[in-house]
Structure 1
Amino acid sequence: MSTSTPAASGQQTPKGPPYAPVTALLGLTPTVKVDVPICAVLMVFFLSGFAFNLTIFRRNKARGHKFLPSVLLAGFCMARNMALVLRIVWSTRHDNASLTIAANIFAAAGVIILFIVNLIFAQRLVRSIHPTFGWGRLPSLAFKALYAYVIICLIMTITITIISFYTRNPSTLNTARIIQLFSGTSLAALAFLPIPIVIATVLIPSKSLPDPFGKGSLRTKIILVLFTATLLSLGAGFRIGVSYTTPRLASNPAWYHHKACYYVFNYAIELIVVFTYALSRFDRRFHIPNGSSAPGHYSAGIEGEKRSSSTSNINDLDPERSPSYKESFRMENSP
């Protein structure tokens, strides 16, 4: 979410710091009549997403199947509920600059969890299709660096949001805007990054046998990551695009500041991503054996599942668990 910098203008602003913003915010200032009903409906959906993902995690954990991305999505849903609660309270207290800061921080920070989840799945696809390369030192360090960079961008976003509300010095505000644009551009790039990673992984021929993981076809896993990454890129691209525009007074907002754009490019997109993963049972599709750390560990988990479920004839019901699964997996990825 773009953070507008409070600046001196012809309008009168409350005493501070913190100072109330005089420039148009993405989503504008919330009102009880419009925003409270919308936020209430969105909270129901995010609470459902939280309950669904947490239930899946607990049931899987009881069977020894730990799938941390379910916890991440549950945490994301709770963070979004907090952002919506703050927006509702903000709609009743427009003169509280501290509340404005908190609402903007929670609105901007939560989506980063989804970026991390998509990077995790992209990494698992790389290690599955190109196990020797994917488990190599350089790719492993590169993904760790990406995860760290996401956190750095989050810290920058929070810090700059706070600073921009606590100063009216033009030089400081200009520096804050530059850093804001840098961190926002970086986050948009990170949201998009799984797309080229997955496409390159599929197109580049593998020099080693594939290491299949989870349930379901490889094609479905690829489509899920590409679809969700495209949606998240759209939302991140819109937010940073708004940030690059010339700031406008709150009394004269542009079309892209309005509430419809705010809710569609933020919460609506995120809900689609959350429920796309949850309803497709991503906990089964993207599951890998606990402690996987080298080529062959993914498929070793599959073979273990086959042996443990042989008495219930699950292999007969799931052709992808047949002895030829690894070979069919390889053929599916052949250029």
Structure 2
Amino acid sequence: MSDGEDFTPGPLGRDATFYVAGHRGLVGSAIWRRLEVEGFTNLLGRTSAELDLKDRDATFAFFAETQPTYVVLAAAKVGGIMANSTYPVDFLSDNVRIQTNVIDAAIAHGVKRLLFLGSSCIYPKFAPQPIPEEALLTGHLEETNDAYAIAKIAGILHIQAARRQYGLPWISAMPTNLYGPNDNFSPTGSHVLPALIRRYDEASRSGAPSVTNWGTGTPRREFLHADDMADACLHLLEHYDGPTQVNVGTGTDVTIREIADTIAHVTGYEGQTLWDTTKPDGTPQKLLDVSLLRDAGWTSQITLKEGLSRTVDWYREHRDQLRG
């Protein structure tokens, strides 16, 4: 058997052991909630304090003990432009070790179905818009997060290699910019949307006359709520099999300036928004071609306005306990 050719996707066993690596993070926690709603009764998660996935021996021992049937690999070191630019060694080394250890341990212990989660930053900086899956490895990466992107590309190729060498029906999904509960809202490590939510919420509470954002506000970005992403992940596990990574997004985008205006409105901020054009913009546009995902039978359901409103409410409820 090669490349999963004898496998037919179908419903996953609700009582099988299902390991969600990174179950406390933005994506992992959403997947955990979705699986609970869908009736999975044997979910398995470990915090980074309980299991360091960078430790190969500990990771293999965990798989030997628990013998999971299904795995979603959502554990990763993530961050925004500042964090990626400042700590490229950490983003490359940590992510390569995490995913290599988990994938190798899953191979060694017979995991039947595995979903590896990457990021849309795997695609070239000037990829065609919207970005098709075929754009992978066709051009130079955005330099502000190239280390993280290379790690995720290595993960995609690792999954494809497992399919070729062992015939495993494992798949990869590449989400667009995600947001929602349990995101990283720290001032130095967060992505653009949670950073904006924190900034405007603080300005709204303090009565600050202005908020200053990085760049020009002209880059276009696509945003997907984490709960939608979780729904897409389960759908792909039960309906898709193929070596090609699958883009997961909404198929629509907005400018950073537009998203900032929306967040200002949702948080009730009435001051002025300024733009520091000496700071980098990052990739000018990142809109994913989601044709393959739609062909597999899935489309997003949560609108950006609804998702932002829910996320701001969650942030305000939890901001005193959040990291950073």
Fold similarity call, TM over 0.5: no
Max Rg structure: 1
| Greater fraction strand | 2
TM-score, with normalisation over the residues of structure 1? 0.29
TM-score, with normalisation over the residues of structure 2? 0.30
